[in-house]
Structure 1
Amino acid sequence: MSKRLIIFTGAGVSAESGVPTFRTGPDGLWHNHRIEDVCHIDTFEQNYDLVHAFYNARRTALQGVEPNAAHQAIAELQQRYGDQVHLMTTNVDDLHERAGSPEVVHIHGNLLELVNLAEGAVLPIGYEAFDHAAHPPQFKPNVVFFGEVAPVYRDLFTLMQSLTRHDLVLVVGSSETVVQFCLEAYSGSNGAATILYIDPTDTCPYDRLLGPGLKPYTEHCRMGAVEAFSAGSPVRKWIECWFNS
């Protein structure tokens, strides 16, 4: 069986390009907006104007940011090792694609698209603000809201269940709040996969989720994504040794 590198990226990766995170820190987007007002399917219709104003601002702001060295390094790994590298992200931006990643699975949707709820059609909109006032109230950002089922979850958990000792899993910049990638990878592989949790926080979320000392990963690399994927970093050495051993 050939070795695989499975990469899951979260908001921490794009944050290093200047994209605000939704949850973390005083500048997190949820600190300025109530989730139930701008990201819950049960209140979408009644908050239609606010929702589109919120996501229009996120979409148009993407034009002012660029992929960082971590995005580029991940793209280079995909280009070098082909189908042996799998990339899934909870980020709804397009920075992985713009960095050159040939295949990106967006777990929670794509900000550069709209969904016509009446027809079930996905429409590209790019970095433009959507003039929702000029259209019937049936268009939604193609982002998974709270209260919705993410269509990609089935593929995500199928992948998790397929993990073996032949897989190296990188969980990069994830708060482990919505999806516990490390825990799912550990459980899915029965502890056989090598799992690196890459996040600069001093405290690990699993101390709270599972209790002190219970770690569903091989190592917590306390560094940002750009540092982790820089030449000579422990993570890059781990990847190189993994494919060359």
Structure 2
Amino acid sequence: MVAELSAALIVEIDRTAALIASQTNICILTGAGISAESGIPTFRDKQTGLWENYRAEDLATPEAFVRDPKLVWSWYQWRRQLVHDKAPNPAHLALAEWQQNTNQRLTLITQNVDDLHEQAGSQVTHLHGHLWRNRCHQCTASYQEPDADKQSQLFDDKLLTCLHCKGYIRPDIVWFGEALPVEAWQIAEKAAAGCEVFISIGTSSLVYPAAGLAQLAKQNGAKIIEINTDPTPNTVVDITLTAKAGEVLPLLVELLLK
């Protein structure tokens, strides 16, 4: 792993580890880039197959679901099919190892809706919901199909109805135009405001409100670290590690847990 990294990047990782090791409260925000390293398509990726004529932004809205619930539900069943066999990559595993073995207060927040952090063993707060959970669009009650698991749900695009109000069942995901979950956002805000180091991994830090977390951390005196293959023009960032998270984090965490 180390041999594959440039000397300049290794120096920056050493500097980053020294900074993080001297602090107590760490807040980490992960985005689509970390899941992309496990083969999960991002929203920016072009749709494929039957969905190539649709834009994700036009399907992931409450208006789209009201207009054509079968279309939106079918798309999410297809997305579940795409990701069901994906596994945590070295970045997910490194974060889990760090969280499980550190004396620091480490809060992990994600914009992703997959469960790769959980599969790796992390405790994580989801800002945008959970791909593998369902709820009623009308009364918001959570929905668990009797005796159902991921495998049995993958290809079935039959609409489900709520046991309480007979409304249509939808994925428990935050769509465009919807508010973030109150409790999750409160956890994220508190962690960002109280941290000494804020680490942004695989996210552009340009999409609000999550993008505001780094600014909130900075306003409260935190150092901001970005790990991304395509760094964003963000003036609040103190250290940028331009590389894949799966290449950087294993070495960074190894240094931190020495």
TM-score (norm 2): 0.75
Corresponding residue SS for 1:179: coil
In 2: Cα distance, 1:143 partner to 1:170 partner: 24
> 1:138 maps to what in 2?
168
Deviation (angstroms), 1:204: 2.2
Deviation (angstroms), 1:161: 2.5
Corresponding residue SS for 1:44: helix
> 1:109 maps to what in 2?
129
- Contact preservation (8 Å) 1:91, 1:106: yes
In 2: Cα distance, 1:52 partner to 1:62 partner: 16
Deviation (angstroms), 1:58: 1.2
Deviation (angstroms), 1:133: 3.1
Q: Which moved more, 1:175-184 or 1:221-230?
A: 175-184
- Contact preservation (8 Å) 2:112, 2:126: yes
In 2: Cα distance, 1:105 partner to 1:37 partner: 26
> 1:160 maps to what in 2?
192
- Contact preservation (8 Å) 2:224, 2:239: yes
1:53 aligns with 2:81: no
Q: 2:180 aligns with which of 150, 162, 165?
A: 150
TM-score (norm 1): 0.79
Q: Which structure is larger by alpha-carbon Rg, 1 or 2? A: 2
> 1:194 maps to what in 2?
223
Relative to structure 1, the CA distance from residue 190 to residue 149 in structure 2 (aligned partners, 3 Å threshold; closer, same or farther) is same
1:186-243 CA distances to partner (integer Å, 9 max, x unpaired)? 3444262111111011x5243xxxxxxxx11111111111011132xxx447x72xx8
Residue identity matched to 2:237: Y
> 1:63 maps to what in 2?
84
Higher relative CO (CA 8 A, sep ≥ 6), structure 1 or 2? 2
In 2: Cα distance, 1:49 partner to 1:39 partner: 13
Kindly report structure 1 stretches of 4+ aligned residues shifted beyond 4 Å.
Answer: 25-32, 180-183
> 2:243 maps to what in 1?
223
Deviation (angstroms), 1:28: 9.1
- Contact preservation (8 Å) 1:48, 1:137: no
User: Which residues of structure 1 form unaligned runs of 5+?
Assistant: 207-214
Relative to structure 1, the CA distance from residue 181 to residue 38 in structure 2 (aligned partners, 3 Å threshold; closer, same or farther) is closer
User: Which residues of structure 2 form unaligned runs of 5+?
Assistant: 1-22
Relative to structure 1, the CA distance from residue 112 to residue 216 in structure 2 (aligned partners, 3 Å threshold; closer, same or farther) is same
Relative to structure 1, the CA distance from residue 159 to residue 28 in structure 2 (aligned partners, 3 Å threshold; closer, same or farther) is farther
1:40-78 CA distances to partner (integer Å, 9 max, x unpaired)? 112321121111111101112222211101000000011
Corresponding residue SS for 1:146: coil
1:175 aligns with 2:204: yes
Q: How does 1:66-81 map to 2 (within 5 A)?
A: 66-81=87-102
Q: CA RMSD in A?
A: 2.9
1:147-191 CA distances to partner (integer Å, 9 max, x unpaired)? 11011333322332333xxx2211000022323756532344426
